[in-house]
Amino acid sequence: MTSKAPLRLERFVKRTGDFTLGPIDLALEPGLVYVLVGANGSGKSTLLKCVMNLMKPTSGSVRLFGLSYDEGESPVKRQAAYVPEPLEGCESFTLEEMGELIGGWYDGWDRRDFLGRAGAFRVATNKKYGKLSQGDRKKAALTLALGTRAPLLLLDEPTNGLDITSRNRLKQMLAAEAETIERTVLMTTHSVEDIRQFADCILLLKDGRLEGPYEKDELFRSWKRLWLSGDSIPAVSDIPGAVEYDDAPYPQLVTRDAAATTAYLASAGVAVTGEQPLAADELLEKLLNGVPG
């Protein structure tokens, strides 16, 4: 990967009170959607704010497409668009006025495209932001960010407050742009459905430390629950990939590497009588609780 990664963190650390985020070393690949998952208070929003230079890291570096904030803020910020949770300080402006304010910052800004996105989200452009419902506020913020056509999107809980139709519109817009813009997306969420719909890769924040990225489809393929039959089932610690065993009501185990586990069990004379992909919420809970991916 080149030094022009959409986002590169090197030895990044942010300390706030008694909490330390990092150290983190990370380089995102262009054109992918990364979903950042972690418990409340794990530092997800703090990380996005540091990427946008709204908070300063305690140490380490943040680079967007090879550019550092130390070399000047404006050129760096033009590479990214940010949807915070919530968007504050815009209550007295209409969406159209906000578009006029930020449009000049971005080379790819297209007013017709911007208005088209507002129409697709069915959000009023002439109503003050402070008078919009929670869902319409989120749609307004997404309309602004997507309208910039910036090559890096930072989305903090982007589907909070969105109805099903608007969630699908967002997915369609990101998918359509994958054909025309090499846009990288880093988004936070607590929603398993968001991970299913949007993610190419998953990043985990646990106790201030970052794990991953994990390729989503491979992760979901490799984690399975297996039902077993045999006279002598090996100890879990001896089975490659196995992370959990239960014999009630039938012998079963959870594996993070189904192929390695089934091959070992076959060599040990243990039959796999059934298998099922691990539910996404259960898989993520295990990863966040310390089971290695």
- Round to whole Å and give the CA distance between 42 and 36: 10
Average pLDDT of span 92-100: 93
Q: What residues have CB less than 8 Å from 144, skipping those under 6 apart? A: 81, 83, 95, 98, 99, 102, 114
For the chain, what percentages of helix, strand and coil (3-state, to nearest 5) are there? 35, 30, 35
CA dist 66 → 6, 10, 32 (Å)? 8, 12, 18
Give the three-state DSSP class for 74. helix
Residue 35 has pLDDT above 90, yes or no: yes
pLDDT one-digit tens code per residue, 250-282: 889 999 999 999 999 999 999 999 999 998 989
pLDDT at residue 85, as a whole number: 81
pLDDT one-digit tens code per residue, 122-168: 999 999 999 999 999 999 999 999 999 999 999 999 998 899 999 99
- Round to whole Å and give the CA distance between 65 and 49: 17
Contact 93, 101 (CB under 8 A): yes
pLDDT one-digit tens code per residue, 193-202: 899 989 999 9
Residue 72 has pLDDT above 90, yes or no: no
Residue 42 has pLDDT above 70, yes or no: yes
- Please report the sign of the dihedral spanned by the C-alpha atoms of residue 117, residue 120, residue 125, residue 128: negative
The structure tokens listed for 194 are 């968001």
For the entire predicted model, the pTM comes to 0.90
Q: What is the mean pLDDT of the chain?
A: 91
Q: Which residue type sits at 17? A: G
Residue 83 has pLDDT above 90, yes or no: yes
Residue 179 has pLDDT above 80, yes or no: no
pLDDT at residue 2, as a whole number: 41
The structure tokens listed for 169 are 């519109």
Contact 227, 252 (CB under 8 A): yes
